[in-house]
Structure 1
Amino acid sequence: MTVRTRFAPSPTGYLHVGGARTALFSYLFARRHGGQFVLRIEDTDLERSTEESVNAILEGMTWLGLEYDEGPFYQTQRFDRYNQVIDELLDKGLAYRCDCPKERLDKLREDQMARKVKPRYDGCCRNRQVDPDKPHVIRFKNPADGVVVVDDMIRGRMPFNNAELDDLIIRRSDGSPTYNLTVVVDDADMGITHVIRGDDHINNTPRQINILRALGRDVPQYAHVPMILGDDGARLSKRHGAVGVMSYRDQGYLPEALLNYLVRLGWSHGDQEIFSLEEMVELFDIGAVNKAASAFNTDKLDWLNQHYLHHAEPSRIARLLSPHMGRLGIDPSTGPELAEVVKAQAARAKTLAELAEISAFCYQDFEAFDETSAKKHLRPVAREALERLRAAFEMMAYEDWNPDDLKRVVERVSEELEVKMGKVAQPLRVAIVGRAASPGIEETLMLVGKEATLRRIDKALAYIAEREGAA
């Protein structure tokens, strides 16, 4: 048997992280077992489905690198097939027409709720002749007794009594097929062997199994993945921040970091935290996924992203960083090579957006000094060191503006003043960067360049003079 899995999102919004994790698990299971991964767009909700959402799903899958072998298939292009199956069920007496008015169904539900009985259709039209030319729905004739057993790959054996399942609608009065019918037909026609999906579908599974059996089709194996919770224990939602995959890209997360984080939400392999995609394929076991819900931890994602930023090829990070610099109004071609900035700064940032922010000083002058840093380091006692450094830097030829020679200048001024190097380097760093954190002082000077260095030292000296005047 060739393993075939599928990811089947509804295009009613962005690709959220819960869906992305389901897609990842389905992808890894297929790849590990030499199978195929199918993408299907379940767009039968005509009112809510949009082309924009379809594009967001496809864009998210591409960004994450989850390559599908077949698809995307669109359910709206398969209505003839669904109607063919519905007609087959009607002909075999496994489905029936129902014209119960909404008022009757509402009253039925109210009475059942009042009696604390599980709401379900009472089969009123099971044995009635309904005029096919008048408005009606089609219902599947669910078995009246017996048990449906779901042998879930994550949750184990789950039995469901047929008496608890009602005759669900498989075609609406407007002629459109419903989810539980379309998903069954698609899974059967596409030869899906393993259905990996969210646990919000558990109640649908016994109904879908009954339809598959009525059609004489093989039943796939199911694995229901638990939901993702926010940091506060509530179901993950917009109020927890960025829950759409592409919003993480826009904030400066790398796709490999998000994949690595998602695979660890509910699954583990010993104490290993860092996984390449190849390692995920080799090691992932759907049966080892935790049954309990997982909590999304942004700090953990930040830690992983920082790791990947630091260890990725600088030229690649530079390409990804460039638009983030642009959002700050910076043209990276006007300063040092962006890859060199990445080498110096990547270990200091959690995201590309943060990397852009802390690297802006390499390309443009800052508006004001960080108040705490300036108060501590730009004191009158630092004036002489900055004046000597400025004079030495001004005398340097542009071809001598390199880390080794720059470091020697700072060391020489430190020796001349008979103070520790930090007493010279820190005021200089605040003068050049505007704050007390940056790469090594020689790297910082190299990245900023001679002209900006002199200009910013002048600004620092003016700040000190104003401070002395106010004393």
Structure 2
Amino acid sequence: MTVTVRFAPSPTGRIHIGNTRTALFNWLFAQKNNGRFIQRFDDTDLERSRKEYADSILYDLHWLGIFPDSIEYQSKRFDVYDQAVEKLKADGLLYPCYETAEELDLRRKIRRTRGLPPVYGREALALTQDEVAQYEQDGRKPHWRFLLPNFVTDPAEPRRTEVHWNDLVRGEETVDLASLSDPVLVREDGTYLYTLPSVVDDIDMGITHVIRGDDHVTNTGVQIALFRALGAEPPVFGHHNLLTTSSGEGLSKRTGALSVESLRESGVEPMAIASLAVLIGTSENVQAMASMAELAGHFDPGSTSKSAAKFDPDELFVLNRALLHHMPFEDVRDRLQLLGIADERADAFWNAVRGNLDKLADARDWWRIVNEGPLEAPELEAEDREFLRQAFDLLPEAPWDDGVWKKWTASIRKATGRKGKELFAPLRLALTGRASGPELAELLPLMGPEGTLARRP
């Protein structure tokens, strides 16, 4: 059996870091088990689904390092769902209901006052032909419910019926089907809700493991019953905890909160997102992983907590810095070229500045400083200005080697008597315009004699 998983978002907005968690859990599980990853779009809601969103999701996944083995669109499979509906109707497991939303709400309130669970009472099963005919004459269209197997002989007398599964993430789980309403699978207008297409596709596509957020735990009891009603054995299920902000706020595609697109545009590296999305809320320490292969080595769905995983978005930038500070030049050469950093000094420049970057684009400012001098004229005390003029007069003659900084500062120390911060701070301001930054011993050879002397106050 080939392990086969799927990531099945609705293309109704940009995916955020929470969606990314689900995609990565599936991708890493497939990678660790030499399996297949199917990208499936739940786009049966033709009014809200957009091709542009599906394309952006694929782009985001590729950027993160996720490459599906196949891409499927539910909007192209309506005939398959129609066949499943006919089978369920023929087996007496899908029945028409004519209640309006207001009528259903009233019935739920009545059941609560009687101390009964606010589930659908299956009143539609008791409708006479005359009552159905009257509804039809009145112009009502039925919605169709799946008859849950939670009774012995009379559907009007449900009894406790437990569905058990060994959850890949949460361990032993149980759902009582008697505590649930028969789910609506087909709306009045003939369109499908999530449940039926999802199960039919999982069967047809040979999905062996369904890994998703724990907001679907209750749905799983229903879906297991539907798998069996359609003559199939259910896959293995796993439900991971959801990501929330540190204040407990949930994430939404529609608001664009922490979307992968916005994080990419703000300079966050893909492995910073992947590392946080996978490791937060698990027994693993959240640390920056340099590659998907390294992250896979730390991925264990069973180590995931049952409580929500709260995170501070600032953690992404902590991981981002850690990644950049250790990233080899070969991994960023092409991206640096796009920033205009492309001559024979690029390698040495990267190794000099990477430890001071919050995001890769910051390297562009340091490149300008190296080549053109401070971005803004530094403010210098009169005493420091006089010191710097004397210091620049002591610059070693060309050609320079890697020891030029040590040689220069030794001459300055001997001539002026300054040392420590009193010596180095004014030099840094004059050379870079900044109070902190990369080691000047590494920057000075990149600036060269002429470029350095041009910064003399």
Q: What TM-score, normalized by structure 2, do the two folds share?
A: 0.86
- Residue 65 of structure 1 aligns with which residue? 65
Quote the Cα distance in structure 2 between the aligned partners of 1:414 and 1:266: 53
Contact 2:290 2:323 in 1 (8 A): no
- Residue 35 of structure 2 aligns with which residue? 35
Give the Å deviation of 1:281: 3.2
1:202 aligns with 2:217: yes
Q: After superposition, where does 1:197-346 map in structure 2 within 5 Å?
A: 197-236=212-251, 243-268=258-283, 274=289, 276-282=291-297, 284-321=299-336, 325=339, 331-332=340-341, 337-346=345-354
| Aligned partner letter, 2:360 | L
Give the Å deviation of 1:213: 1.1
Give the Å deviation of 1:184: 0.7
Quote the Cα distance in structure 1 between the aligned partners of 2:223 and 2:402: 68
| Other structure's SS at 2:403 match | helix
Quote the Cα distance in structure 2 between the aligned partners of 1:275 and 1:340: 21
1:138 aligns with 2:144: yes
1:362 aligns with 2:370: yes
- Residue 5 of structure 2 aligns with which residue? 5
Give the Å deviation of 1:218: 0.8
| Other structure's SS at 1:203 match | helix
Give the Å deviation of 1:173: 1.8
Gaps of 5+ in 1: 326-330, 459-471
| Other structure's SS at 1:456 match | coil
Give the Å deviation of 1:20: 1.1
Q: After superposition, where does 1:421-432 map in structure 2 within 5 Å?
A: 422-432=421-431
Aligned residue among 352, 356, 359 for 1:348: 356
Contact 2:288 2:323 in 1 (8 A): no
Deviation per CA, 1:331-357: give whole Å up to 9, x if none: 546x88444332111112232244445
Contact 1:345 1:359 in 2 (8 A): no
Contact 1:144 1:162 in 2 (8 A): yes
Give the Å deviation of 1:188: 1.0
Of the structure 1 ranges 230-239 and 95-104, higher mean CA displacement relative to structure 2 is found in: 230-239
User: CA 1:349–1:169 in 2, change beyond 3 Å: closer, same or farther?
Assistant: same
Of the structure 1 ranges 109-118 and 300-309, higher mean CA displacement relative to structure 2 is found in: 109-118
Of the structure 1 ranges 60-69 and 283-292, higher mean CA displacement relative to structure 2 is found in: 283-292
User: CA 1:282–1:438 in 2, change beyond 3 Å: closer, same or farther?
Assistant: closer
| Aligned partner letter, 1:58 | L
Give the Å deviation of 1:199: 0.7
Quote the Cα distance in structure 1 between the aligned partners of 2:65 and 2:73: 21
Gaps of 5+ in 2: 152-160
Q: What TM-score, normalized by structure 1, do the two folds share?
A: 0.83
| Other structure's SS at 2:163 match | strand
1:78 aligns with 2:77: yes
Contact 1:411 1:421 in 2 (8 A): no
- Residue 384 of structure 1 aligns with which residue? 386
- Residue 174 of structure 1 aligns with which residue? 189
Give the Å deviation of 1:180: 0.7
Quote the Cα distance in structure 2 between the aligned partners of 1:240 and 1:427: 48
User: CA 1:75–1:234 in 2, change beyond 3 Å: closer, same or farther?
Assistant: same
Quote the Cα distance in structure 1 between the aligned partners of 2:353 and 2:449: 20
Give the Å deviation of 1:214: 0.9
Of the structure 1 ranges 423-432 and 113-122, higher mean CA displacement relative to structure 2 is found in: 113-122
User: CA 1:445–1:62 in 2, change beyond 3 Å: closer, same or farther?
Assistant: same
- Residue 19 of structure 1 aligns with which residue? 19
Contact 2:14 2:254 in 1 (8 A): no
Quote the Cα distance in structure 1 between the aligned partners of 2:250 and 2:101: 32
Quote the Cα distance in structure 2 between the aligned partners of 1:239 and 1:297: 20
- Residue 51 of structure 1 aligns with which residue? 51
Of the structure 1 ranges 270-279 and 43-52, higher mean CA displacement relative to structure 2 is found in: 270-279
Contact 1:369 1:435 in 2 (8 A): no
Aligned residues: 441
Give the Å deviation of 1:14: 1.3
| Other structure's SS at 1:457 match | coil
Aligned residue among 150, 153, 159 for 2:165: 150
User: CA 1:351–1:56 in 2, change beyond 3 Å: closer, same or farther?
Assistant: same
| Other structure's SS at 1:122 match | coil
User: CA 1:198–1:442 in 2, change beyond 3 Å: closer, same or farther?
Assistant: same
Contact 1:150 1:157 in 2 (8 A): yes
Quote the Cα distance in structure 1 between the aligned partners of 2:32 and 2:244: 28
Contact 1:228 1:295 in 2 (8 A): yes
Greater length-normalized contact order (CA 8 Å, ≥ 6 residues apart) = 2
Give the Å deviation of 1:158: 2.5
Quote the Cα distance in structure 1 between the aligned partners of 2:172 and 2:412: 76
Deviation per CA, 1:189-225: give whole Å up to 9, x if none: 1111111000111121111111111111111111111
- Residue 158 of structure 2 aligns with which residue? none
User: CA 1:237–1:270 in 2, change beyond 3 Å: closer, same or farther?
Assistant: closer
User: CA 1:438–1:155 in 2, change beyond 3 Å: closer, same or farther?
Assistant: closer
| Aligned partner letter, 1:341 | F
Quote the Cα distance in structure 2 between the aligned partners of 1:356 and 1:210: 58
Deviation per CA, 1:250-288: give whole Å up to 9, x if none: 222222232222221133458987574224434533222
Contact 2:145 2:186 in 1 (8 A): yes
Quote the Cα distance in structure 2 between the aligned partners of 1:272 and 1:367: 34
Contact 2:243 2:250 in 1 (8 A): yes
Quote the Cα distance in structure 1 between the aligned partners of 2:91 and 2:257: 49
- Residue 101 of structure 1 aligns with which residue? 100
Quote the Cα distance in structure 1 between the aligned partners of 2:16 and 2:352: 33
Quote the Cα distance in structure 1 between the aligned partners of 2:254 and 2:445: 43
Deviation per CA, 1:351-374: give whole Å up to 9, x if none: 22444455542344545456xxx4
